Amino acid sequence: MSLSQNPMTGIMHKSMANFVTTTYRGRNVIKAKVFMPKNVNSNAQQKQRACFKLIVKEYESLGGITDIGYTNIPRVYSPLNAFVKANLPNAIDKTGAIPVINYSKLVVSKGTLPEVPVINSIVGTEGITVSSKTPLNQPKISETDEMVAFAKLKNHELIIERKIRGKSATGSIVLPYPDIKANDVECCYSLY
């Protein structure tokens, strides 16, 4: 594979003779054409494809809220690329016959700030209340930072709420959803 950075050609695509031109991560790529492709489609490949589809569906189901968590990424990556790269190796439980997502290992934010120290999450009549510590004594943390909390329900509905961090040592944010039950919640996250 060779890379081509020619300002006259711009973005290259399609094939000619025995080579194919495409764009990969913002760069033009020239590859030899494959004349006798092999698609083994082994069990390991099928399992890897299922894991990849599972992570991509999870990204799509979060409705773009993870895009605010992946802001410090190289220009040639998209937030989807960063989300898949962070979660494909670790967040999927492959021990069973069908791979499933382990939400305790799912990374929804990859930034420079420390993670939110959650004290507790309570499901009540008005919704989900997420209480956390607000460590203002750490560098790069300000009382004007925005806290974002979201919950994904088992019916694929997404509840999102934002709040300014404030000056108190602890804070809470309520995800409004009247009469929600704990077993209706797939996962719940909070980030600054």
Q: How does pLDDT run across 60-91, given as a tens digit for each residue? A: 888 777 787 777 788 778 888 888 888 888 88
Residues 64 and 21 in one domain: no
Number of domains in the chain: 3
User: Among candidates 83, 94, 89, 96, which has minimal Cα distance to 189?
Assistant: 83
- The reply to whether 52 and 12 lie within a common domain is no
pTM greater than the 0.85 cutoff:
no
Please report the pLDDT score of residue 53 as a whole number: 92
pLDDT at residue 74 in the model: 80
Q: Is residue 1 part of a domain?
A: no
Query: Same structural domain for residues 128 and 167?
Result: yes
Same domain, 60 and 93: yes
- pLDDT one-digit tens code per residue, 170-185: 888 888 988 888 888 8
Cα–Cα distance list, 116 to 12, 41, 119, 133, 163 (Å): 44, 42, 9, 7, 14
3-class DSSP state for residue 141?
coil
Residues 123, 192 within the same domain: yes
Domain membership of residue 16 as a residue range: 8-32
**3 lies in a domain?**
no
- The whole-angstrom separation of Cα 4 and Cα 150 is 43
Q: Tell me how far apart the alpha carbons of residues 21 and 2 are, in angstroms, rounded to a whole number.
A: 10
The three-class DSSP label of residue 87 is: helix
Question: 155 in a domain, yes or no?
Answer: yes
